[in-house]
Amino acid sequence: MGEGARRFVDWLAASGVSLWQVLPLVPPGAGSSPYSSHSALSGNPWLLDPGGLAADGLLRQEELSDAALSDAAGSRQPLSPGACCPDAVDHRAVRELKGRLLGLAARRLLAGSNAELLAALSDFREAEPWVEEAALFTALHRRFSMRPWWSWPEELRDRRPAALEAARRELREEIDREVALQLLFDRQWRALREHCRGRGVRLLGDVPIYVARDSVDVWAHREMFLLERDGTPRVVAGVPPDYFSDLGQLWGNPIYDWRRMAQDGWTWWRQRLRRALDQTDLVRLDHFRGFSAYWEIPAQAPDARQGRWVEGPGMELFSAMEAALGELPLVAEDLGEIDQPVHDLRDALGLPGMKVLHFAFGAQSDHPFLPHTYPKNCVAYTGTHDNNTTLGWWQGLAEPARDHVRRYLGVDGHDVVWDLIRLCLSSVAHTAVIPMQDLLVLDHRSRMNTPGEADGNWAWRVRAEAFNHELGGRLLDLCRLYGRAE
């Protein structure tokens, strides 16, 4: 969230881009996934900028040099557009090296190295009451060697008041450090958001529909999920067989007790959406179809094929959210197996859906992801974080679909990635989003995520060398040509 991020925002603005879509800002969970976090409201401390912490008097310059963060997290080889970027985050090295720096910074904040920040900590705790429970959960996780909460001693697993109070006393220092890191995340993110505003760049955030079973959200609000008394799920989330998998996807997240949430006035969802909209200008609602009907899988099923569709909360939830929060600037991730009720709910709310070019070709001329069928109220993508890169997609595409692409665009395919970028930007969709990997024409080795695979995801990173005048100029020309540059 430091100088590199600000340079990126400056490059976006100079390139005619006015929207930056980000992955969930929460601490990553299993497989380093931001869609499997231990806290739906926390910020990811690994995104903190050590340079900013030094500027706040919480770190020393020699400590930054000793950490050698860049060397630990990837190579320094030069990058040029069109070359495959080998860079990937070494999450273990980041946790070890950056973890030491963050620990130092939090302890110095609490010791009064920065009086302004220490005073702000009290206000932050009062304004964000969820942070105490999240910090306690993190501290207990460490105490029990990162074992899941349902394997903790019964009195803590079941949140007996005396056991919780004792844990808060015993773990006070560690809890305070975790709260301090959340304050620092909040301050750095707000500063970056202000920089975006100053450059005319809006932020599109992301709220996963589900939360991880091993999370403070489930541990602290067990009554809001379909669980047995000991925390064992009765049913779990996923999706039926689709484009990505013949077996469907068995996500394993616990499923909400929507009826119980309605009785509570949707308190948990109000808090979650309020937090997301406080961090970004718009929010992409992941797996929007689950609000219409969700795929419920028996907890012991070997794969997702044994699931069934169950009616979701629908308009009742969103009416309550609008009453509490006002107009909802949301984007509906309406991909996957979609039926008419999903479209009806999206349209009743006036939300834009998503159109992905990778899914458009090789079928009939009326396919809803072909740009000549788009409504204006949608967001067009070449591909998303769940897709292959466009170059990787093209390299693996069957010849009939390739032929469809060439004929539809009137091209020979020698520059197909930028041909699809042009197609996306030229569509009537009021918003178009291009993954950075596509702007750099990178192949499958730079893919962000492969759905259904637990390992090897969420590691690609872009380096500052990519934000150059040549690439930005090419993008600016297209944004201006199609009226997207402000």
**Active site (catalytic) residues:** 286, 333, 386
If DSSP codes are grouped into helix, strand and coil, which group holds residue 172?
helix
DSSP codes joined into one string, 464-477: GGGS-HHHHHHHHH
Let me know: does 452 contact 429? Beta carbons within 8 Å. no
User: Residue 28 corresponds to which amino acid?
Assistant: P
Let me know: does 378 contact 427? Beta carbons within 8 Å. no
The whole-angstrom separation of Cα 346 and Cα 323 is 18
Cα separation values, 228 from 136, 155, 247, 299, 361, Å: 23, 16, 27, 11, 45
For the chain, the residue count is 486
The whole-angstrom separation of Cα 130 and Cα 281 is 22
SS3 content of the chain, % helix, strand, coil (to 5): 50, 10, 40
Let me know: does 448 contact 457? Beta carbons within 8 Å. yes
Residue 60 makes CB contacts below 8 A (sequence gap 6+) with 54
Cα separation values, 432 from 124, 289, 342, 382, Å: 36, 21, 22, 9
> How do beta strands 235-239 and 249-254 pair?
antiparallel
